């Protein structure tokens, strides 16, 4: 569907994005694009859409009208009802468009149609723009920080709706987000960017095993737990957690039995995108500085 190769984007003298090895987005892929602020996520999306100048090759058999996008910031007129904005943008009438009616109902948006855009909540504004994107039924769709600024519950509900809508469709999705938990239910591949470079790209489960092991057990980071797990294999984690890498089911059994015996609360995961990305980026920076990345026994 889409191949990116030898892509470079510069803002003045600054190299904002450099993708050397080919990246291929296939039909039906659900790709989560993650990275720190300034990593090049939005720059990549804008390059694919042809919104900025770049050097290199972006090859696709899609026409521009077959690509839909939800950008992070959207602005609409505040002086008319939302339904009139929707009908004007889409050049259709809601009462005559069955597909649009189904989308409005699916996203529980009926009560918002007569409101002005400025009167909508953050979640309602996002649902409005999502409806405008989904009605295009494009084979390739980009969502750039679609839940930015929303509370946890609203984010989860919105992503659950999107996952349900696309469940049996062959649409290729590219979702830029810094909320890792919402990507876990929507994507099957992860593209990690850092400092304008590709850290890694591939199947979500394969990347997890590559950087974390078979499973990861996380517990609170406190002195008692540090002492208790001093001889266990640890990998990098958010500061408030200790992450224990389990390379096999037998190791996982030993770790969990220890934690249960010591009455320690823990969480098991085989797809934690945040911990996977932390360790992937750690290896990336160690390669750049000539270091060697590995899981360590912390004494």
CATH number at residue 233: 3.30.70
**Which residues lie across from 193 on neighbouring strands?**
198
Q: What is the distance between the alpha carbons of residues 13 and 155, in angstroms, rounded to a whole number? A: 37
Does 190 share its domain with 218? Answer: no
**In the chain, % of residues over pLDDT 70:** 96
Which tens digits make up the pLDDT trace of 216-236?
999 999 999 999 999 999 999
Cβ contacts of 80 within 8 Å, gap of 6 or more: 116
Question: Taking 70 as the threshold, does the pLDDT of residue 73 lie above it?
Answer: no
Helices and strands (H and E) in the chain: how many: 10, 15
Task: Determine the pLDDT at residue 295.
Answer: 45
Does 83 share its domain with 175? Answer: yes
CATH number at residue 147: 3.40.50.300
Question: Taking 90 as the threshold, does the pLDDT of residue 47 lie above it?
Answer: yes
Does 17 share its domain with 143? Answer: yes
For the residues 60-71, what does the mean pLDDT come to? 88
Does 58 share its domain with 109? Answer: yes
Question: Taking 60 as the threshold, does the pLDDT of residue 296 lie above it?
Answer: no
Which tens digits make up the pLDDT trace of 240-258?
999 999 999 999 999 999 9
Task: Please state whether beta strands 296-297 and 233-235 pair in parallel, antiparallel, or not at all (unpaired).
Answer: antiparallel
Task: Copy the structure tokens of residue 183.
Answer: 């990507």
**Which residues lie across from 142 on neighbouring strands?**
69, 174
Task: Determine the pLDDT at residue 176.
Answer: 92
Question: What is the pTM assigned to this prediction?
Answer: 0.87
Boundaries of domain holding 289: 214-297
Domain count, the chain: 2
Please identify, among 169, 203, 237, the residue that sits at the C-terminal boundary of a domain.
203
* Mean residue pLDDT across the chain: 90
Q: Which residue has the higher pLDDT, 72 or 37?
A: 37
Which tens digits make up the pLDDT trace of 188-200?
999 999 999 999 9
Does 64 share its domain with 122? Answer: yes
Q: Decide: 24 and 191 in contact? Cβ < 8 Å.
A: no
Task: Determine the pLDDT at residue 14.
Answer: 92
Backbone dihedral angles phi then psi of residue 227, each to the nearest 5 degrees? -65, -40
Q: Decide: 227 and 298 in contact? Cβ < 8 Å.
A: no
Does 47 share its domain with 107? Answer: yes
- Of 220, 254, 244, give the one whose Cα is nearest residue 297: 244
């Amino acid at each position: 569907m889409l191949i990116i190769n030898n892509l470079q984007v510069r803002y003045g003298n600054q190299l904002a994005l450099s993708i050397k090895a080919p990246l291929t987005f296939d039909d039906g892929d659900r790709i989560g694009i993650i990275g720190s602020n300034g990593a090049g996520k939005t720059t990549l999306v804008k390059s694919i859409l042809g919104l900025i100048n770049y050097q290199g090759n972006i090859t696709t058999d899609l026409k521009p009208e077959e690509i839909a996008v939800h950008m992070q910031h959207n602005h609409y007129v505040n002086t008319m009802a939302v339904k009139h904005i929707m009908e004007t943008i889409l050049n259709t009438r809601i009462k005559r468009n069955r597909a649009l009616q189904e989308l409005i109902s699916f996203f529980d948006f009926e009560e918002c149609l007569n409101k002005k855009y400025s009167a909508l909540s953050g979640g309602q504004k996002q649902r409005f723009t999502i409806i405008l994107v989904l009605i295009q039924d494009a084979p390739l769709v980009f969502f750039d920080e679609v839940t930015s600024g929303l509370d946890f519950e609203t984010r989860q509900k919105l992503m659950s709706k999107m996952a349900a809508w696309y469940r049996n469709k062959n649409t290729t999705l590219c979702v830029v987000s810094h909320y890792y938990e919402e990507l876990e239910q929507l994507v099957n591949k992860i593209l990690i960017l850092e400092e304008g470079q590709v850290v890694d790209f591939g199947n979500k489960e394969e990347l997890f095993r590559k950087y974390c092991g078979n499973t990861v057990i996380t517990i609170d980071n406190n002195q008692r737990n540090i002492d208790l797990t001093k001889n266990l294999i640890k990998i990098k984690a958010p500061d408030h957690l200790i992450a224990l890498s389990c390379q096999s089911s037998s190791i996982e059994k030993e770790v969990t039995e220890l934690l249960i015996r010591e009455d320690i609360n823990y969480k098991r995961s085989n797809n934690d995108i945040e911990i996977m990305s932390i360790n992937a980026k750690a290896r990336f920076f160690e390669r750049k500085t000539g270091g060697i990345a590995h899981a360590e026994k912390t004494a």
